[in-house]
Amino acid sequence: DAKTTQPNSMESNEEEPVHLPCNHSTISGTDYIHWYRQLPSQGPEYVIHGLTSNVNNRMASLAIAEDRKSSTLILHRATLRDAAVYYCILSSVSGGYNKLIFGAGTRLAVHP
Amino acid sequence: EAGVTQFPSHSVIEKGQTVTLRCDPISGHDNLYWYRRVMGKEIKFLLHFVKESKQDESGMPNNRFLAERTGGTYSTLKVQPAELEDSGVYFCASSQVVSYNEQFFGPGTRLTVL
């Protein structure tokens, strides 16, 4: 399974944008880029995913480099509730399922 | 719509005892996954069901772990006999079988083996 590299931790102030980077230089052509987050004492939660093009949803935006070797999760206005561990995961989707290989993730702290 | 539920939320048992964890996926989700995080480590995939069939058991640590999904609805994960290193949080997730399937995770079961 392809590996990802993320900073261990990041900090942000409330209502400011946050850019969470992820390097995945060994990504294959069939790998999707997934982002999940884990709030304290909860199970992981889906944030966004993409393959080649940038993606937006109600939670965040995903910017994917042209060579696909890196990506950035963008939280446009951080809130205290966004404090969590964010996981960047590569996984191919075949047969209608994919297993997630979690790394250490980035622990995001949001300050009032 | 109800999310993924797991029971119990916490379990404390003695080494050598048996524990059974239960997961109820979202209704209509044929994919069901088990993951776990043991102390200080990353979340690890254990296995994956499609309906009642095991599709991938590559993450199961050893034969003390037995997962079942009779009838393709809820799933159980039995640990027998439990060892100290089994302590951790066990997560269940479910998803639909479509071209891309977001996985919905339950809150987890925290297992403590003394």
Chain B interface includes A98 (CB < 8 A): yes
Nearest CB among B48, B100, B105 relative to A93 is that of B100
- Which residues on B lie below 8 Å from A103 (Cβ)? 42
The C-alpha atoms of residue B44 and residue B52 are separated, in whole angstroms, by 21
Taking residues B53-58, report their average pLDDT: 92
State yes or no: cis peptide before A21, omega within 30 of 0: no
Chain B interface includes A43 (CB < 8 A): yes
Q: From the CA of A34, how many Å to the nearest CA of chain B?
A: 9
Question: A97 and B101: CB-CB below 8 Å?
Answer: yes
The C-alpha atoms of residue A47 and residue B100 are separated, in whole angstroms, by 14
Cβ atoms of A62 and A71 within 8 Å: the answer is: yes
Question: A98 and B101: CB-CB below 8 Å?
Answer: yes
> pLDDT tens, B17-29?
999 999 999 999 9
The C-alpha atoms of residue B61 and residue A91 are separated, in whole angstroms, by 21
- Which residues on A lie below 8 Å from B23 (Cβ)? none
Token digits of residue B40: 């200080």
> pLDDT tens, A27-84?
988 889 999 999 999 999 999 999 999 999 998 999 999 999 999 999 999 999 999 9
Question: A96 and B101: CB-CB below 8 Å?
Answer: yes
Q: From the CA of B4, how many Å to the nearest CA of chain A?
A: 10
Chain B interface includes A100 (CB < 8 A): yes
Q: Which of B9, B31, B100 to mutate to test the interface with A (most CBs of A within 10 A)?
A: B100
pLDDT of residue A107: 97
> pLDDT tens, B59-109?
999 999 999 998 889 999 999 999 999 999 999 999 987 667 789 999 999
Say whether pLDDT at A92 is over 70.
Answer: yes
Phi first, then psi, for residue A81 (nearest 5°) are: -70, -15
The C-alpha atoms of residue A100 and residue A54 are separated, in whole angstroms, by 21
